């Protein structure tokens, strides 16, 4: 076993005291799934487990506290195995940080293959990374939307400031006119 794979030895689900709960990781019953997830949230290697499950595209069972739906959403793979469009902006798969904390990058694909590079999402909070072109596109779309929102808010601020200054100047001119009129009377 390579040093990278040694984390499995620390897995909470591998401990003999949890032997009767192992099948819960592949159960269809909600309360059993919840028990499996609670083991994951107490597991010292949850982060490595999520990373490995996403790298190996483990689409069945509970891994790192994520159920099949959550893993499929992170990888943007629907129940038919097709790449799907995201309905919502992604959050971090490990620490649940919001989309604003996620970044994207293009990295070399380790195993080569048809494409030389792949799109990766990275959490700036916990540093976990996972590969998903659709999630990366959704993160980029979020940042573009946010940048446009901030730019609009800045444009509105400048516009309102100009209106206020114009009104102030108008009022000053009015006051000066009124004062001059008063003097002549």
User: Which residues of this protein are in contact with ligand SF4, per CB under 6 A?
Assistant: 11-13, 39-40, 43, 45-46, 49, 63-64
CB 68, min distance to ligand SF4, A: 13
CB 164, min distance to ligand SF4, A: 56
Nearer of residues 97 and 118 to Zn ion, judged by Cβ: 97
Binding mask 77-96 for Zn ion (x = CB under 5 A): ---------------x-xx-
CB 13, min distance to ligand SF4, A: 3
Q: Which does 40 bind (CB under 5 to 8 A by kind): Zn ion, ligand SF4, none?
A: ligand SF4
* Whole-angstrom distance, CA of residue 27 vs CA of residue 25: 6
From the list 91, 97, 118, 120, which residue makes contact with Zn ion (rule: CB under 5 A)?
A: 97
Nearer of residues 45 and 92 to ligand SF4, judged by Cβ: 45
For the segment 11-70, give every residue that binds Zn ion (CB under 5 A). Answer: none
* Whole-angstrom distance, CA of residue 182 vs CA of residue 167: 22
* Whole-angstrom distance, CA of residue 121 vs CA of residue 104: 5
Strand ordering across the sheet containing 129-131: 102-108, 117-123, 129-131
| Residue 123 interacts with Zn ion (CB under 5 A): yes or no | yes
Q: Which residues make up the interface to Zn ion (CB under 5 A)?
A: 92, 94-95, 97, 123, 125-126
């Amino acid at each position: 076993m390579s040093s990278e794979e040694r984390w499995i030895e620390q897995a909470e689900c591998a401990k003999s005291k949890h032997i009767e709960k192992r099948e819960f990781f592949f159960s269809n019953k909600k309360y059993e799934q919840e028990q499996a997830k609670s083991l994951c949230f107490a597991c010292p290697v949850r982060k490595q487990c999520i990373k490995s499950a996403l790298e190996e595209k483990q689409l069945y069972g509970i891994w790192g506290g994520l159920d099949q739906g959550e893993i499929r959403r992170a990888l943007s793979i629907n129940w038919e195995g097709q790449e799907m469009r995201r309905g919502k902006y992604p959050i971090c798969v490990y620490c649940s940080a919001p989309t604003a904390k996620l970044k994207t990058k293009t990295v070399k694909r380790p195993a080569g293959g048809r494409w030389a590079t792949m799109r990766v999402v990275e959490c700036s909070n916990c540093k976990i990374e996972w590969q998903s072109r659709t999630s990366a596109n959704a993160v980029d779309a979020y940042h573009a939307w946010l940048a446009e929102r901030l730019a609009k808010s800045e444009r509105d601020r400048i516009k309102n400031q100009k209106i206020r200054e114009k009104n102030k100047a108008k009022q000053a001119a009015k006051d000066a006119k009124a004062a001059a009129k008063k003097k002549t009377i």
